[in-house]
Structure 1
Amino acid sequence: MAVPSRDGILVRLLEQYNVGWRLYKNLEQIPRHMTPYYSREQMKIMGNYANAEERLLTRRRVWHAFLLVKLTTFIVPTIIGLTESLDSIVEFSEDALWTISGLYVIARWSFYYLKADQVDEIVDALEECHHQWNVGPNSEETQSRRRCIVDRVNDVFYNPLLTFLLANFILLLLCTFAALAARHQPLVAGRFVMTMPIVFGGLIYWSKCGDLVTQTSQDVAVAAFEAYDCPLWITRSSTIQRDLMFLIQRAQKPLNIGARSPLPAFNLVTCMAVSCTTPKGRHQQQQQQQQQQHKHKQSQT
């Protein structure tokens, strides 16, 4: 169970940015908490995190009920308004863009309202790993705990990741299609074009996070194999040899976020695959393939 902070609201809200600035100036500094801890604190301050402790507070229950009413009054007229814009493709795409974005926000809010206690378990486990420096970052116990945490993240965040991937995929298709349909109306097309970097930014950010998990897992495997392959292997104790062999064996299957059918691993490869499904992405992919074929023909001649 996380220990509640006694600092003021403003200090807790800005602490993540202060820590980030200090780390930027001194990369060797070790932060007191991990990023998920600070993000959870910010969500608690804004009243968007409903774990067991928060639901016991009367003011939080009133605030959550108010949010539910506001979200409902926003999304219901938006969905009904879709039927009034069926005559225009551009207007329907714009209304659908708002509707899908609103549904995604409601899905995110509902997840943290219903699954906050399970998210607490993950954040607390990450905090425990973060503070266990005396064990060592690459010990057998630490690696086993990391794999258990990643498995738990995949279990808890599977549906949110799938929703996020589908929402971004649909939004990218809508923005691309509407921008092409409204190409003779620069102001209207510009709104859709400006939305695409926002969608891509969120997709690339979370894909990069998943990519870091996989890359770190692979780096551990390389380091363990180099230690196994060095000439000093014979002089190492049997305990160290056993730990290294365990790491090499476990590292044969790299850690991935969201690697469960039908959702692929959440990394930059998946991000590129989603971007290539849009008409613009397919066009760029076809150009790259044509360039590669042209270079191959030139090399043969």
Structure 2
Amino acid sequence: MTAPVDPTATRPVGAVSAAAKRERRRPGQFGWPASLPALLIGLLFTVGPLVIIILFSFMSRPPQGGGVVYEFTLEPYIGFLFQTDFLGNTTFDPRYLKVFGDSLLQALITTVVCLLLSFPLALWMATRSPKLQSFLVLLVTIPFWTNLLVRTYAWMLILNDNGIVNQASQALGFGRLELLYTPFASQLGLIYTFLPFMVLPIYASLAGFDFRLAEAAYDLGARKRAVIRRIILPLATPGIISGILLVFMPAFGSYVQPVLLGGGKVLLIGNLIASQFGDARNWPFGAALSVIILVMLMIALIAIAFYSRRSGRKVEISL
């Protein structure tokens, strides 16, 4: 009686490893060369512009016109905090810090209001029937079907002197209200624009929760505040953190709403960057402002990753 022959005994070592790799590959799974075109496109159109902006922030400004002079300098970053007069005296200049402060305040107000509005809505959506939940998610995502400019112009029609708000105000005897081209209109536009970005992550965190556990807590004598604080809020925390980032960072650098609804009366960081690349033709300084915002975003993401590791909760920055 002969012993069974191992079919891999006569194969070369390289052939055995290649065959083992093919066996380990799951059905329908592509190798890494199939993802190479997508990786190249991502590097070209995502990483490429970021690298260009970072390089431009360390370049010099030409004497006239836009563009950059390829000479290394830290002047764009120094000019963010200091100003040099014609005599060469350098003094602290808080103007751009005030712009950052105004942008930060508007972004914080947008984030807080969106959170206060979104959490009850997302909780209510998560407690509905599956069919109704799908319909409610559809209603929340309907604004994404229309271009942002179209939605902003619609708000301009609503808030102008002859809009529906002023018509209702005059009909009730309150007179005409100055709403359009004010900081209030800009703030309202930001809240409307970014509200779905807060609702959807919180809803995604609560959608799979078995609310019979909350009912059991009620049966055991827990109050509504205790149930929300000890059961629902910990479950919704990853969605809340994701929503805060998805709302705060775009609202911090927003451009469309402050210009169209606010009339550009309040200078924010998005308007400042656009003016540096446009009217002022100071590309290095505009790039430096963009890099500062990018660094703030990186710090926020690192803080979220640190929180996720310490708490053991997985936080995903996605809708």
**TM-score tier (shorter):** under 0.3
TM-score by length of 2: 0.25
Task: Give the structure with the larger helix fraction.
Answer: 1
Larger Rg: 2
Greater relative contact order, per chain length (Cα 8 Å cut-off, separation 6+): 2
